């Protein structure tokens, strides 16, 4: 099967966009990711999936921690920066959630300790035990069909 067919099909699943951050020996590294899911309420667990070629893989293996920052609609540029789609180096001022590095202005920050790790194909799944959460008002950045987007005004469903 063609990779493009698989990616086109997966791209039909509209997602939010996160930047995963981790602090390895005082150096903060960020990576854009949309492979993120809530796993369990008791205990509170989430999962992220990191490609074998991503330098983030080794950083999380060393730090044993990561923060999931759910981006706001105003943060497309940060998503592009941490996906390597903006080539020039930029200075990013990170926030702090009880010792965990965060992306300021993200609509949710979820700091985790790695609870378990599963290598599956060319990605590694990190199950994160949630330690702390910070939430802010705002609309999410979306990713669909390989394109960024935002919620259309007035489309919030009334049930």
Which residues make up the interface to ligand NAD (CB under 6 A)?
7, 10-11, 34-35, 49, 51, 83, 146
CB of 29: closest distance to ligand FAD in angstroms? 5
Pick from 73, 83, 97, 114 the residue near ligand FAD by CB under 6 A: 83
C-alpha 21/C-alpha 110 separation (Å) is: 10
Residue with tokens 């791209």: 11
50 is an interface residue for ligand FAD by CB under 6 A: yes
Pick the closer one to ligand NAD by CB: 11 or 95.
Answer: 11
46 is an interface residue for ligand FAD by CB under 6 A: no
C-alpha 97/C-alpha 15 separation (Å) is: 24
Q: How far apart are the first and last CA of the chain?
A: 41
Give CA angle at 71 (20, 32), nearest 5°. 35
The residues binding ligand FAD (CB under 6 A) are 17, 28-35, 49-51, 54-56, 81-84, 89-90, 92, 143
């Amino acid at each position: 099967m063609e990779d493009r067919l698989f990616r086109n099909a997966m791209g039909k699943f509209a997602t939010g966009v996160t930047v995963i951050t981790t602090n390895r020996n005082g150096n903060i590294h960020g990576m854009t990711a949309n492979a993120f899911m809530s796993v369990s309420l008791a205990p509170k667990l989430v999962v992220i999936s990191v490609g074998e070629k991503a330098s983030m893989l080794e950083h999380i293996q060393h730090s044993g921690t990561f923060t999931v920052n759910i981006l706001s609609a105003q943060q497309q540029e940060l998503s592009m920066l941490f996906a390597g789609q903006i080539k020039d180096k930029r200075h990013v001022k990170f926030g702090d959630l009880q010792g965990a590095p965060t992306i300021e202005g993200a609509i949710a920050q979820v700091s985790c300790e790695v609870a378990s790790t599963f290598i599956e194909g060319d990605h590694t799944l990190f199950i994160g035990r949630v330690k702390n959460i910070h939430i802010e008002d705002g609309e999410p950045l979306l990713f669909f069909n390989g394109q960024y987007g935002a919620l259309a005004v007035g489309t919030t469903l009334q049930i």
